[in-house]
Amino acid sequence: NKELKNFCITNNIPIKSEGKLIVAKNEKDLEGLFSLYDNAKNNDIEVYLGRERELKDFEPNAKTFEYFLYVSSTFVVNPLDVLNVLYEYLKNKGVYFLLGCKFKKNIEKGLALIENKMINYGFLINAGGLYADSIAHVFNVGLDYKILPFKGLYLIFNSDERFIRRSIYPVPDLNFPFLGVHFTVGDHIKIGPTAILAFSRENYNMFYRFKFSEFKDIFLLALRLFFSKIKYRELFLREISKYSKKRFYEDASALVKSIPNINKFKWYLSGIRAQLVNIKTMELENDFIIQRGDCSLHILNAVSPAFTASFPFTKYIIENYILTNKWLIKKDI
């Protein structure tokens, strides 16, 4: 959080808003709220545990059950702004970008086919997101894992009116690696995301990039999860109902005292989370998972807060996987 914020300030990347509230919907949520508080304190994160009567001082329109958390260090930034700065910086350092190209296959050690180009490599880092597992499997790595894509739908408030001034989150269900539908305050107020199964890995909208082969694999893996654990049955059924705008809107309404009419919200851009599944234990993985191959490294799971943590995570990768690689040290790269 600190490193990303410093990067934004140094590079004049606009910060859209700061601070977030985590509120409880009922008594059941309090255990999770207190757990988050203890975790924050143990990790030296500045957090305030407040009583319900104090909430109006932080956000008059928010509502909670008995207690809430306020995290002052949270901030909202446009990820594209960060990526554009990084892109220009790296390009000026001589990094070559080959964009919009598909990884086809690994011909042999040190030689891969990318779209219609043969690429020589000394050490390959696979951070392929939604296709990270498929690429890893080509290198005989991560065979116990498969990616299940979850679509995050959003609603955006179609007005400049500010009915809240800070982002508001529910207490997350710690059984799942999802944060739950929440309010994000940036240039506009957004509600989301959902955690609905996507029909294909890049199925951002309707039948966009729909592939039947991917749909079949996703359906079969989801079916295995559905029948293996009751918690996943509950998750799938609960989330699929949020294809209904009304249901989605009602879920967010529980976090505030009043909300503008549903007609003032419209569907917005969606995102797809590359969620890793351990096909041996039939569990969704909720931590970073990195596996090494021969002259390759595969980042199979980069869960939230992966974007916020991207700078120290990169340092971790370099220090623990790149600089310790004997081939790289010997070649003086």
Model confidence pLDDT, tens digit, residues 101-120: 999 999 999 999 999 999 99
Between the alpha carbon of residue 191 and those of residues 6, 17, 19, 216, the distances in Å are: 27, 15, 17, 30
Over the chain, what is the mean pLDDT? 92
Q: What is the pLDDT of residue 144?
A: 97
Q: What is the pLDDT of residue 326?
A: 57
Task: Tell me the two tokens of residue 321.
Answer: 């996987």
Q: What is the pLDDT of residue 94?
A: 96
Give CA angle at 200 (225, 237), nearest 5°. Answer: 40
Residue 216 phi, psi dihedral angles, 5° rounding: -65, -45
CA distance 126 to 94: 20
In the chain, the largest separation of any two C-alpha atoms, in whole Å, equals 65
Q: What is the pLDDT of residue 178?
A: 85
Q: What is the pLDDT of residues 172-224, one digit of tens each?
A: 987 787 888 999 999 999 999 999 999 999 999 878 888 899 999 999 999 99
Q: Which of 246, 179, 254, 248 is nearest to 20 (CA)?
A: 179
Give the pLDDT band (50/70/90) at residue 59.
Answer: very high
Residue 212: Cβ within 10 Å count: 9
Q: What is the pLDDT of residues 252-262, one digit of tens each?
A: 999 999 999 99
Q: Which of 168, 125, 158 is nearest to 320 (CA)?
A: 125
The answer to whether the CB of 141 falls within 8 A of the CB of 150 is no
Q: Is the pLDDT of residue 12 over 90?
A: yes
State whether residue 212 is helix, strand or coil. Answer: helix
The answer to whether the CB of 194 falls within 8 A of the CB of 153 is yes
Give the pLDDT band (50/70/90) at residue 328.
Answer: low
Residue 171 phi, psi dihedral angles, 5° rounding: -70, 125
Q: What is the pLDDT of residue 173?
A: 86
State whether residue 56 is helix, strand or coil. Answer: helix
Give the pLDDT band (50/70/90) at residue 333.
Answer: very low
Complete edge-to-edge strand list for the sheet that includes strand 167-170:
47-51, 67-77, 15-23, 167-170, 182-185, 189-192, 155-157, 265-267
Q: Which of 78, 112, 80, 81 is nearest to 98 (CA)?
A: 112
Q: Which residues contact 249 (CB under 8 A, 6 or more apart)?
A: 155, 191, 259, 262, 265
Q: Is the pLDDT of residue 162 over 80?
A: yes
CA distance 37 to 51: 13
Q: Is the pLDDT of residue 331 over 60?
A: no
Residue 97 phi, psi dihedral angles, 5° rounding: -110, 130
Lowest model confidence (mean pLDDT) among 60-64, 79-83, 139-143, 241-245: 241-245
Q: What is the pLDDT of residues 285-313, one digit of tens each?
A: 999 999 999 889 999 999 888 999 999 99
CA distance 180 to 278: 22
CA distance 55 to 64: 8
Please report, for the chain, how many H helices and E strands are present, in that order. Answer: 10, 18
Lowest model confidence (mean pLDDT) among 71-80, 239-248, 280-289, 306-315: 239-248
